[in-house]
Amino acid sequence: MAEPEAHDPIEHLAELERRAALGSSTEMQRSLSRQRFLARFETEGVAVRVSLRRWAMPAAAAICLAAALLFFLPPRALTFEVRGAELNGKYVSAPEGRVAELRFSDESTLVAEPGSRLRVEDTYSQGARVLIERGHASVHVVHESSTAWTFAAGPFEVHVTGTRFDLGWDPASETCDLSLLEGSVEVRGLAGSGPIVVRAGQHFQGDARRGTMQVLAPGSSVVPNASLSSVASFPPIPEPSAIAELAEPAAPAVEPSSGAVEHQTRRAHQASWSERVAQGQFKEVVADAEARGIAGCLSNCSAADLRALSDAARYTSNTDVAERSLTAMRQRFPGATGSEAAFLLGRLHEKRGTLSTALGFYDSYLSEAPGGAFAAEALAGKMRTVRTLQGQSAAQPLARDYLRRFPKGVHVSTARQILSEK
């Protein structure tokens, strides 16, 4: 920053502007925005360096025409019509014995089973946010380069760019069921845990009451369990294919045939930890790491593998391995990865009851990544631990800060409760 003087009001105004900018979007908006950008990057790719001189004039004319049109036509949010039920404000209730169908202007469709109730919370130019309050819905989202839909079922959020799936939420048992027919989706659970990638043919079950998430692979009877309470902050899955390529070791100096086999085996192993965690194979990943040697992994594994191992360990309540993995991440990968590890260590210590240590890690994260993906969760964690350690009044400034920065955050009610108590 610009060498702030201790009492320089300009620097105070600059700080205020920075805080206003940080608070202008929610964590969810930022996360969706990143998802949209990477999806568009994958479909549109980087520009290729070719000579377009011959087409420059017509292309420029076309661009000018398109720009002129865009100039006057703001992007329009999707519209939708309801068949088989009444639209009551944002609510649609399928009557008993009849389905209700929602048809969106991008040709995406949602069929709600009889007796289901849902709410179309918001529509955007690239998608919508739909809340399943009760019952089941069959959804078909048409894929476009920038599609970004969100379906919420209780505390579970399904992020979609284009796919077909069935989603249900039972408020009585607080369970979520998701069956993927085509494509893949990302599911996040309570307090931003996840994402867990669910692919075509797989079935996801989330139980908010028991705090478990399960992914059933096609043709498999193994249903791994994940304790939500122990992984309330599952970090973003790194891009497995790209990480795997980066992780490619130098060619082994062995004769080609056996070397090739070993090379392929190692590559498959290295590429798979993040993917296997995303598929819910937590116990298998921990077992794999133990077979390979935990200590060796802590000092040699990539950031992606360490992250995958720490996630898998937390999912299986193996807090010792989780803590060691996160500590290694923090020591070996300063920067964004290390900061994320600080946040996750904060969660781990908060759950363990070592609140002073938890507070220290939350503080570290907030100072290292004030606008990071887990800023809301870290601030909420700090708010909770300060309330317990130092009392309500000490937590109130943090609660105010939370409400200002994350007015739609999941801990809004806790913050308001802290503020309302004398």
> Scanning residues 288 to 307, which ones bind other proteins (CB under 8 A)?
300-303
What is the maximum span of the chain, computed from C-alpha positions, in angstroms? Answer: 74
Name the one range near other proteins by CB under 8 A: 40-48, 162-170, 313-321, 341-349.
Answer: 40-48
* Residue 11 touching other proteins (CB under 8 A): yes
C-alpha–C-alpha distance, residues 379 and 254, integer Å: 52
154 phi-psi bin (left φ>0, alpha ψ -120 to 50, beta other) = left
* Residue 336 touching other proteins (CB under 8 A): yes
Q: Which residue lies nearer to other proteins by CB, 225 or 274?
A: 274
Q: What number of CA atoms fall less than 13 Å from residue 203's CA on the CB side?
A: 10
* Residue 90 touching other proteins (CB under 8 A): no
Q: Which residue lies nearer to other proteins by CB, 20 or 65?
A: 20
- Sequence-distant (6+) residues with CB within 8 A of 369 are 336, 339, 340, 375
* Residue 37 touching other proteins (CB under 8 A): yes
Per-residue contact string for residues 375-414; x = within reach of other proteins by CB under 8 A: -------------------------x--xx--xx------
In whole angstroms, the minimum distance from the beta carbon of 58 to other proteins comes to 19
In whole angstroms, the minimum distance from the beta carbon of 173 to other proteins comes to 33
Per-residue contact string for residues 202-221; x = within reach of other proteins by CB under 8 A: --------------------
**Bridge pairing between strands 128-141 and 149-153:** parallel
Q: What number of CA atoms fall less than 13 Å from residue 135's CA on the CB side?
A: 21
Q: Which residue lies nearer to other proteins by CB, 57 or 67?
A: 67
In whole angstroms, the minimum distance from the beta carbon of 326 to other proteins comes to 15
Per-residue contact string for residues 153-192; x = within reach of other proteins by CB under 8 A: ----------------------------------------
* Residue 31 touching other proteins (CB under 8 A): no
* Residue 371 touching other proteins (CB under 8 A): yes
Q: Which residue lies nearer to other proteins by CB, 85 or 369?
A: 369
In whole angstroms, the minimum distance from the beta carbon of 137 to other proteins comes to 26
Sign of the alpha-carbon torsion through 198, 232, 331, 38: positive
> Could you tell me how many residues of this chain bind other proteins (CB under 8 A)?
71
Q: Which residue lies nearer to other proteins by CB, 165 or 406?
A: 406
* Residue 353 touching other proteins (CB under 8 A): no
Per-residue contact string for residues 247-286; x = within reach of other proteins by CB under 8 A: xxxxxxx----------------x----------------
Instruction: Rule CB under 8 A: choose which of 54, 69, 72, 255 binds other proteins.
Output: 72
Write the DSSP symbol of residue 228: G
Type of residue numbered 254? V
> Scanning residues 316 to 335, which ones bind other proteins (CB under 8 A)?
333-335
Q: Which residue lies nearer to other proteins by CB, 46 or 291?
A: 46
> Scanning residues 226 to 245, which ones bind other proteins (CB under 8 A)?
238-239, 241-243, 245
Instruction: Rule CB under 8 A: choose which of 62, 246, 268, 389 binds other proteins.
Output: 246
In whole angstroms, the minimum distance from the beta carbon of 72 to other proteins comes to 7
